[in-house]
Structure 1
C-alpha cells in the first residue's frame, strides 16, 4: 500500500504531532466539511483520499481525488493519495462477487470499513506518519465518558451510518472522530456554503462506490446470468430465473411468476442455482444467527441481554434478546417476527441509548435451507 502526496497541487508540508488528525476525504460534501470543522477546532489536519477501482471495478477513479485535493488546497492542509486498488479488489470486490454467486446479499460498505478503511489503511497511515487520529464524514458518533468510548447512532436517524461501522475495532474508537454525528445533512450543506467549499452543491452518490452509476451485476460477470429454477419450499419448479444475483431474500418484484397472494424470495441456494419462493408470512424469522462478529460493548452483549437490533441499514432497531455470543458467533431472538433477514447482510445490535454493542454477518445453517428441484 502506497501513500503519497497528491500531484498537481501545491499542498503544505505535513506536520504531525499532538492534535494531529488525518481526514479520509472522498471529494464529497461530508468529508470536506469534516476537514474544515476540525481545522476550525485547532487540529493539525491532513487529507487522505483512497484511490480505488472505478466504475465496474476497472480503472481507478480520479475525479474524487481531484475534488478532495482542491478542497484541501483551499483549506491550506496537506493532501495525500493512498493507492488501494489491489487491496480493494482483494478485500471488497472479490468477497462481494463471491457472496452474490453464493446466493447471499453482501454489504461491501461494511466490508470496506471493517477490513480496509479502519483496518489496513489506518495501519498504513500510522506506519507512514506515526500515531495519529482518524476522522471521516460518517453520520455516527463516538461517545466518550469515564475514560471509555462507544460507537453510537447519529443524531439524525434518517442519515445514521453506524450500521456500516460496527466492524471497527474497539481499541480504535478513542482515536476516531466523527464530527458530523450530531448534525443533519441540511446543516452540513449549510456549513459547506459558509466555508465556501467548492463541493458545497455536489450531488450525493447513492451508488456502490466501485460500480459508479452502472449495474453492479456487470462486476460479477458471467456467473450472474446463469439460468436456473425458481421453486417452492418443497422444491417444486414454478418458473426460471436468469441468475441468482438478481435476487435477495424478501424480494417480491421481478419474479415473473403469477400468484394471487403474491410470492416472496425465501431463500437462495447458489450451489444448486435455485431461488426459493413462498408466501410473505414464511419470510419472517424470530431467530437470527450471525458469524464473524465484532463486539464493541462486551459487558452488554451477553446471553439473556435485552437489546435492540436490525438486519438492514434503514429503519429503527427493534427489541431482541441475545441467546448466544461466543466463539465469533451471535444468535438473537427478536421479540416480534422479523421480515426477511438476508444471509450476507449484517445483524447489528444496539442498547437503548443507541450505542453499538456489536454485530456480525448473517448466516443460516445448511440444514435450514435444504431445497430440491
Structure 2
C-alpha cells in the first residue's frame, strides 16, 4: 500500500518540485495550500508568498501533476499566532522572527497535525532545503546540501513530535538542480522567482508596517552608552541591535545600536566594540536532541549567519547560557538561536539577551 504524503504546496518552484519528486517515488501525494493573509502585492520589486496568485499557481501545479489539492483558510490562526507575535515583540523592544514562529505554530507544526488527523497522511513534506537522518537513536534534522539555501534554522522551534512526520525531498539538491528538474519536466512554475519578504508585511519595514496599521510609534531619546543624550529616535520598532545606518546623530566615531530599552523608551548607542560579548542567553528552549547528548556545539543567531563555536553552556530552568570560544557581536533579542552539532540541528530558543 502506497504511503500518503501531504505537501505544503505554496505555488513556488521548490514545493512544486518536491511534490513532483514524491509522486515519481510512488507516494500518494495530496497538495495543501494555506491562505494566511490577503497581501497580494509587495511595495518593492520582490515576490512575497501566500498571495492569491500563489494559490492559483498551486492549483495549476496540482492539476498538472494530477494530485488532489485543498486550499485551507487559516488567516485567523495566522493573525493570532504570527502577526500578533510580530507586533507584540517589536512593541516590547525585541526583533522577532515571525517565520520561525509560523513554522512552529502554523505552516509546519499545525499543518503536520492536520495532515495526520484529518487527511490521514503518513507524512508532511515541504520544499525546505533540509536533510533528515537518524542519530542518537532518533530522527534528526540536518543542514541541506545547498549551503546557500539551507533552511534548517527556521525549524529550530518545531516540536519534537512533529519531526518524525516530516520529509524534505529537496534536502539532497541544490537550488539550481531543483530549477533544472522543474524546467526539464515542464512544471508550470519552473520560471517563477523566489519569495524573499515576510509575507504579511508586503516588503514594508517594521516602521512602515506599523504605520500602515495605524499603530503610533513613540519617539524617545537616543543615548550614548556613556549617558550623553545625542538626539531623538523615531520609535524603537524602527531599530535593531547592531544597526548602524539611519540613526541620524553625530559622533566622532560610527555608532551602532547597542541596546533597546523599552521601559524608558531609550535607544542606547555606542561604538562597535560595545557590541562585543562572550555569551548569549536563549529562553523557551525547544529540545530536538536531549541536552545530555550534545557535543561540539555551535549556535546561529540569524538566518545565514556563520555558525559560532561554543566553549560551554549552562542550562538553568527555562534558559540556556552559551559561552563563545571567541567574543562575538551581540545577537538581537527576539531572534531565534538555533543550536547545532556539526550539521545536526539540536534545537533552538528565543534570544533573551547578549550580555
TM-score (norm 1): 0.87
* Greater Cα shift, 224-233 or 335-344: 224-233
The equivalent of 1:331 in structure 2 is 321
Q: Which residue does the alignment assign to 1:269? A: 261
Partner of 1:347: 337
Tell me the distance in 2 between the aligned counterparts of 1:84 and 1:124: 12
Deviations 1:220-244 (A, max 9, x none): 3444532111111243311111111
SS in 2 for 1:331: strand
Structure 1, unpaired ranges of 5+: 1-16, 369-373
Q: Are residues 1:359 and 2:351 paired?
A: no
TM-fit CA distance, 1:219: 3.5
Are positions 1:175 and 2:169 aligned together? Answer: no
- In the alignment, does 2:145 pair up with 1:155? yes
Shift of 1:53: 1.1
- What do residues 245-293 of structure 1 show as CA deviations (whole Å, max 9, x unaligned)? 1100000011111223210000012232211100101111211000111
Contact 1:56 1:214 in 2 (8 A): no
State yes or no: 1:191 paired with 2:175. no
- 1:256 corresponds, among 248, 259, 263, to 248
Q: Aligned pair 1:51/2:40, yes or no? A: no
Residue in structure 2 matched with residue 91 of structure 1 by the alignment: 81
SS in 2 for 1:202: coil
Secondary structure at the counterpart of residue 100 of structure 1: helix
The question of 1:238 aligning with 2:254 is answered no
- How far did residue 216 of structure 1 move? 4.2
Hey, what does 2:44 align to over in structure 1?
Answer: none
Normalising by the residue count of structure 2, what TM-score does the alignment of the two structures yield?
0.91
The answer to whether the aligner puts 1:164 opposite 2:154 as a matched pair is yes
Residue 13 of structure 2 corresponds to residue 29 of structure 1: yes
Residue of structure 1 equivalent to 2:45: none
Residues 97 and 42 of structure 1: CA distance in aligned 2, closer, same or farther (over 3 Å):
same
Deviation digits for residues 21-70 of structure 1, max 9, x if unmatched? 0000111110000000100111100100111113399xx83211110011
Q: Write out aligned runs for 1:198-237 (5 A).
A: 198-220=188-210, 221-223=213-215, 225-237=217-229
Q: Is the Cα contact below 8 Å between 1:166 and 1:359 reproduced in 2?
A: yes
Q: Which moved more, 1:211-220 or 1:312-321?
A: 211-220
Moved more, 82-91 or 138-147: 138-147
Q: How far apart, in 1, do the equivalents of 2:121 and 2:307 lie?
A: 35
Structure 1 146/76 Cα, relative in aligned 2: closer, same or farther at 3 Å? farther
1: CA distance, partners of 2:284 / 2:40: 28
Q: Give 2:25's aligned residue.
A: 41
Q: Does 1:316 align with 2:300?
A: no
Unaligned segments of structure 2, at least 5 residues: 42-49
